[in-house]
Amino acid sequence: HRDLTGLAGLAPWEILYLLDEAQQWVELNRQSHKRMDRLKGLTIINAFFENSTRTLLSFEIAGKRLGADVVNMHAAQSSVKKGETLIDTAMTLNAMHADAIVIRHQSSGAVRLIADKVDCPVLNAGDGQHEHPTQGLLDALTIRTEKGEIAGLKIVICGDILHSRVARSNIHCLTTLGADVRVCAPPALMPADIEALKVTPYHDFDAALAGTDVVMMLRLQQERMEGQFIPSPREYRHLYGLSLDRLAKAKPDAMVMHPGPMNRGIEIDSTVADLAGRSHITRQVEMGVAIRMACLDVLTRKARGLEGWA
């Protein structure tokens, strides 16, 4: 079987295949009758070792809309709290014969570790600072839906790049699809290896915004800070916050995006986050359900005796 632990190394056609597969579910999700039986009889386990609203709920809704039985394991209420190791937890989940396991974990690489121990496809719902592949895919689908094509677009990702698995997955996805990606962060929140990711780094947000088609804002991940010197919230907003004045430096039709959860008034002003016609933040959430339906469908095809994505 094949897992989805990251977007690094995927070919353009593989990413486009998942986006095309998701397209059909966007329409279905807007109808009043949303239930399919494509994954009927399958069991999907969502194992979340870290908090989530969007990813957990949308994976649960995605599995249920395709007819699967979906169960959620929250680490806070599990035997992880009694000292069970990650490997033992993985072996326990495996013994229940799930057909797919969706995992969010605070440690980079934890999802790969589990994927190597279990017999079914594993989908990464965000691991530490590493990757959040379905977020990268849903962002690409949101952009493609609005702009038609991703190749050639100028896209700026601004914020806590260092700690952001969302930034990493988006960088892999968008550069693979031919976008010109700029990243902008305070010096302390820019990864040392950023040049290797085929993006252009900036510390000056006004310069980074000039002429962009898409402006993607990120949250400061206070929970992952390890003593980095960062500006105060007030200074951060002044230097890196997206206000209406600042948005005017991007193209007149530039899309505003944010993976959520947002810290309104810090990295993004409410006037921008709620700007009709320009903010695509709720559209991103809508696309998230369709992308997760496509990923669950495609990754379980082999187990259902169908031609897979591999």
Q: Which residues participate in the annotated binding site for carbamoyl phosphate?
A: 54-55, 104, 132, 135, 260-261
Which residue's CB is nearer to ligand CP, number 39 or number 167?
Answer: 167
Shortest Å distance, C-beta 55 to ligand CP: 3
The DSSP result for 201-222, as a single string, is: EES-HHHHHTT-SEEEE----G
Q: Which residue is nearest to ligand CP (CB)?
A: 55
The DSSP result for 33-79, as a single string, is: -----TTTT-EEEEEESS--SHHHHHHHHHHHHTT-EEEEEEGGGSG
DSSP 269: -
Residue 112: enclosing H or E segment and its boundaries?
A: helix 110-115
Which residue's CB is nearer to ligand CP, number 132 or number 182?
Answer: 132
Shortest Å distance, C-beta 249 to ligand CP: 26
Residues interacting with ligand CP, by CB under 6 A?
Answer: 52-55, 126, 132, 135, 259-261
Tokens encoding 119: 């017999």
Which residue's CB is nearer to ligand CP, number 105 or number 154?
Answer: 105
Q: How far apart are CA 103 and CA 128, in angstroms?
A: 11
Report strand pairing: 100-105 vs 122-127.
Answer: parallel
Shortest Å distance, C-beta 199 to ligand CP: 20
Q: How far apart are CA 245 and CA 234, in angstroms?
A: 17
Shortest Å distance, C-beta 209 to ligand CP: 22
DSSP 264: B
Which residue's CB is nearer to ligand CP, number 154 or number 255?
Answer: 255
- Long-range pairs for 232-236: beta carbons < 8 A, 24 or more residues apart: 233/266, 236/186, 236/266, 236/267
Shortest Å distance, C-beta 260 to ligand CP: 5
Q: How far apart are CA 38 and CA 44, in angstroms?
A: 13
Shortest Å distance, C-beta 106 to ligand CP: 12
Which residue's CB is nearer to ligand CP, number 162 or number 180?
Answer: 162
Q: How far apart are CA 131 and CA 167, in angstroms?
A: 8
* Cα-Cα-Cα-Cα dihedral sign, residues 257, 258, 263, 266: negative
Residue 93: enclosing H or E segment and its boundaries?
A: helix 86-95
Which residue's CB is nearer to ligand CP, number 15 or number 257?
Answer: 257
Binding site listing: 54-55, 82, 104, 132, 135, 165, 219, 260-261
Which residue's CB is nearer to ligand CP, number 65 or number 258?
Answer: 258
